[in-house]
Amino acid sequence: MVSWKQPSQTESKIAGNHPPNDGRILEMLPMRILFTSDLHGRRNLYDELFTLAADRDVQVILLGGDLLPHHGPFQETVVEQEEFVRSYLQPALQNFRNRRSQVRIYTLLGNNDWSESDKVMAKIEEQGLVEVLDGKRLDLDERFQVIGYGNVNPTPFRIKDRERLDYPGDEVPANMRGCYRSQGHKVVAVVPETHYRGHLSMVEELEGLPLPVAGRKLISVIHSPPWGTGLDVM
């Protein structure tokens, strides 16, 4: 949760003495942002998320990747993820929006979310339920902007759609768990060299992201944890 506080009496008095669009008021008022990631299709966690967002009266929800399930047989996870969005996530988002229509919800898929799932996420974006953040720069308001990037560097897990080499000339890492991509409703085995060399590296993709707008504070939503922070350590 970011900047969770009620306006003080002084702020309220100032707000009453100036027009609503006065830049001084906007700068002083907090923005309540709720961030989470790695829900992995757990419905109870989504239910808690929507309850917390309503209770805390948040203005923005940021969902930072690994949002969809992979609980069933591996070869069936593409269908599992699509069905989860259709049968649970879309109705849950609609129900939340019916109660909190002003809340903006930004989504980013992570390395455990198949690329084929981008299609079903695009459909709920078309319905106005979310804004897909990956590879984009979007404005939260006149003060804050957000940029998203969901791909990750090589992991010790099965290599999947969103894994990238850090740099173009890096060696393809050894991985005994296999390499796979989503294709239609199927999971298809591929050669790791073919997978990695078929995509730009992370540094190239990051360099291709939209530049921040000067004068606005930047929030970066990146699924891969930053180096040296102690996050996501096994």
Q: Could you tell me the domains of the chain?
A: 31-222 (3.60.21)
Residues 6+ apart with CB under 8 A from 19: none
Of 17-31, 39-53, 86-100, 130-144, which gets the smallest average pLDDT? 17-31
pLDDT > 50? residue 115:
yes
Query: Residue 19's pLDDT is what?
Result: 45
Beta bridge partners of 115: none
Q: What is the mean pLDDT of residues 78-102?
A: 97
Considering only residues 232 and 203, tell me which one the structure prediction assigns the higher pLDDT: 203
Q: Are 60 and 106 in contact (CB under 8 A)?
A: yes
pTM (2 decimals)?
A: 0.85
Sheet containing 144-149: order of strands:
137-139, 144-149, 217-222
